[in-house]
């Protein structure tokens, strides 16, 4: 069985981007491929969640190809080289693991993470003005909320106990009730969601995963109702639909 390496991917890209290559591949840019790169990353995540390792293997390959595509274009434009990427990556990883490559002795994951964030802050390419900097602008909002909360907690800005977060959620619900007919409803709803994400962090629950689970559950039960009503739900009363919903729950 032939063994391949990353040079084989570069050789393929040379052909695809070459004069007699693929018209679509030749016209691509960093910007035009950006959303494809994100899509492939999400498909990798989906395969992990499904524990579908054949799909995982394939999706990792697709993601790798897009990464190599960007590197190939960067080399074409003489912006940077693959060797420069490897050198920067290896230096960064060694620097951020001082408990392995330096003189710090710890096996506590919390200390390791704190050191990581501290070193990252000290070695940033651009000066940052806030502890909260470094969270991608286009992150999924639940994940972004959680990462911002984690960063704030790392410098001591956090609720001491989960019970206080529950009290905050109750406060936000009261404020939301008071704003149901007001222009501030969007803001209050956002505050409530942010507080719920904070609670998930205290109990080490991934809010993205939790909401995905609820969405999947809703999807299953709704489809069950559709099948039971022969896709004529509008002909049934809400009470009857609720009865079938409860039946779907029992079936699970």
Domain with residue 190: its CATH number is: 1.10.287.1080
Q: How many domains does the chain have?
A: 3
Contact between 248 and 217 under an 8 Å Cβ cutoff? The reply is no
Residue ranges of the alpha helices (H) in the chain? 6-17, 23-26, 30-50, 53-76, 82-95, 98-101, 109-122, 141-154, 162-178, 185-202, 207-228, 238-251
Q: Are residues 184 and 218 in the same domain?
A: no
**93 in a domain, yes or no?**
no
Do both 160 and 225 map to the same domain? no
Q: Which of 23, 52, 87 is the last residue of a domain?
A: 87
Cα separation, 50 vs 21, in Å, equals 36
Band (pLDDT 50/70/90 cuts) for residue 250 is very high
Say which residues have a Cβ less than 8 Å from residue 216's Cβ, sequence separation at least 6: none
Task: Tokens for 25, please give them.
Answer: 């591949």
User: Is 192 among the domain residues?
Assistant: yes
Q: Do both 189 and 217 map to the same domain?
A: no
243, 188: one domain: no
Is 196 within a domain?
A: yes
Say yes or no: 197 and 215 in one domain: no
* C-beta atoms surrounding 179 within 10 Å: 16
pLDDT (0 to 100) of residue 125: 67
Q: What pLDDT does 122 receive?
A: 80
Q: How far apart are the first and last CA of the chain?
A: 46
Does residue 92 sit within a domain?
no
Distances (CA, A) of 15 to 43, 97, 138, 160: 26, 39, 33, 58
In a shared domain, residues 62 and 14: yes
pLDDT in the model for residue 84:
97
Judge whether 127 lies within some domain.
no
187, 205, 223 - which closes a domain: 205
Mean pLDDT, range 163-185, rounded to an integer = 90
Note whether residue 99 is domain-resident: no
Biggest CA-to-CA distance, the chain: 72
Higher-scoring residue by pLDDT: 199, 251? 199
**Any idea which residue has 């719920």 for tokens?**
196
Q: Do residue 223 and residue 183 come from a single domain? A: no
Query: 73, 29 in Cβ contact below 8 A?
Result: yes
- Cβ atoms of 221 and 205 within 8 Å: the answer is no
Domain extent at residue 161: 135-205
Tell me the average pLDDT of the chain: 92
Q: Say if 234 falls within a structural domain.
A: yes
pLDDT over 70 (residue 127): no
């Amino acid at each position: 069985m032939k063994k391949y390496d990353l040079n084989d991917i570069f050789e393929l890209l040379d052909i695809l981007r070459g004069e007699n290559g693929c018209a679509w591949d030749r016209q691509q840019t960093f910007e035009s491929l950006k959303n494809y790169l994100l899509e492939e990353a999400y498909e990798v995540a989906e395969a992990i969640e499904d524990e579908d390792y054949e799909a995982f293997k394939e999706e990792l390959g697709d993601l790798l190809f897009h990464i190599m595509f960007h590197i190939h274009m960067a080399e074409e434009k003489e912006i940077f080289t693959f060797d420069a990427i490897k050198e920067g990556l290896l230096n960064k990883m060694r620097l951020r693991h001082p408990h392995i490559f330096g003189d710090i002795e710890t096996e506590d994951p919390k200390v390791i993470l704190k050191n990581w964030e501290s070193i990252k802050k000290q070695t940033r390419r651009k000066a940052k003005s806030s502890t909260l900097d470094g969270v991608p602008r286009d992150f999924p909002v639940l994940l972004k909320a959680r990462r911002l909360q984690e960063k704030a907690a790392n410098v001591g800005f956090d609720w001491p106990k989960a019970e206080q977060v529950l009290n905050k959620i109750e406060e936000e619900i009261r404020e939301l009730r008071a704003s149901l007919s007001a222009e501030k409803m969007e803001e209050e709803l956002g505050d409530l969601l942010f507080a719920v994400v904070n609670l998930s962090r205290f109990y080490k629950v991934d809010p993205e995963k939790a909401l995905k689970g609820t969405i999947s559950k809703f999807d299953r039960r709704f489809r069950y109702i559709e099948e039971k009503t022969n896709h004529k739900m509008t002909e049934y009363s809400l009470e009857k639909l609720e009865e079938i919903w409860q039946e779907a729950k029992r079936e699970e």
